[in-house]
Copies of this chain bind each other. A is one copy, B any other.
Amino acid sequence: MFSKFLNLDKEKQDRIINAAIKEFALKGYDTASTNEIVKEAGISKGLLFHYFQNKRQLYLFLFDYCYELLAEEFYKKINFSEVDFFKRIRHAVLIKMDLLSQYPDIFKFIEEAYFEESTVIKIELGNRIKELTDINFGKVYEGIDLSKFRDDVDVKKILKIITWTFEKLSEEELNKVKLSSAHEIDFQQLQIKAEEYFEVLTTCFYK
C-alpha cells in the first residue's frame, strides 16, 4: 500500500512524516493544509500525492505510525516485574513525560486524534481508537501486589485515586511549562513531587 513511500531513504521519509504530524497536530484534520506540509517537508505537492492517494490516507497512515511508535517505546521501558503499584505507576508517569518531551508533536497528534470530529475520518479513526483502548486497558494493573493495601476500603478505588493523582500531577507540571513558555519539563522537579505524593499515598493507603 505504502511501498513506494517506505522505499524512500529514511531521511526524506522522516522529513515528510514529521512535517505532516506537526501540521495535523497543530490544526486538526480539516484545517491542516497539504500545501503547508509539502512546504515544511521541502518536497513538491505532486510528490506527496504520488506517495499517498489522498489526505485521508496520509492521516490514517500517520495515526498508525504514531501509535505504534509510542506503544513500542512505552512497553520497551516499562518494568512489568515491578509488582508494587506505586512504583510502577510512578515509573509509568515518568516514562510518559519522557516520551512527551522526546516526541511532543507525535503526542499532540495522538491526543488530538481522540477529539477529531471531521466526518471524513471519524468512523475509521473511531474504530482504531476503540480497538486500541480495549487492548491496552488493564495492562497497567497486570500482576500488581494488592496485599499491601489496607482492607477497610475498596482497593480498586484506591488504585484509581493513585492513578489520578499521578496523572493530575503531570498535567499540572505540563500546564506550568505551557504558561511559563519555558518549553522544557523540569524532570528533577517532577521526580521530587512524585516522590512527595508517593509518600503521602503510601502512608494513607498501605496497611
What separation, in Å, do the CA atoms of A154 and B30 have in the docked complex?
47
Which of A127-164 touch B at CB < 8 Å?
150, 152-154, 157-158, 160-161, 164
Number of copies: 2
CB–CB B196/A152 < 8 A: no
CB–CB B164/A200 < 8 A: no
Which of A174-190 touch B at CB < 8 Å?
none
Task: Report whether over half of chain A's contact residues are helix, strand or loop; otherwise say mixed.
Answer: helix
Asked if A50 CB lies within 8 Å of chain B CBs, one says no
Asked if A192 CB lies within 8 Å of chain B CBs, one says no
User: Which B-chain residue is minimally distant from A155 (CB atoms)?
Assistant: B200
User: Which B-chain residue is minimally distant from A130 (CB atoms)?
Assistant: B179
**Top 10 A-B pairs ranked by shortest CB distance?**
A164-B168, A204-B204, A153-B200, A157-B200, A153-B203, A161-B165, A164-B164, A164-B165, A31-B31, A157-B197
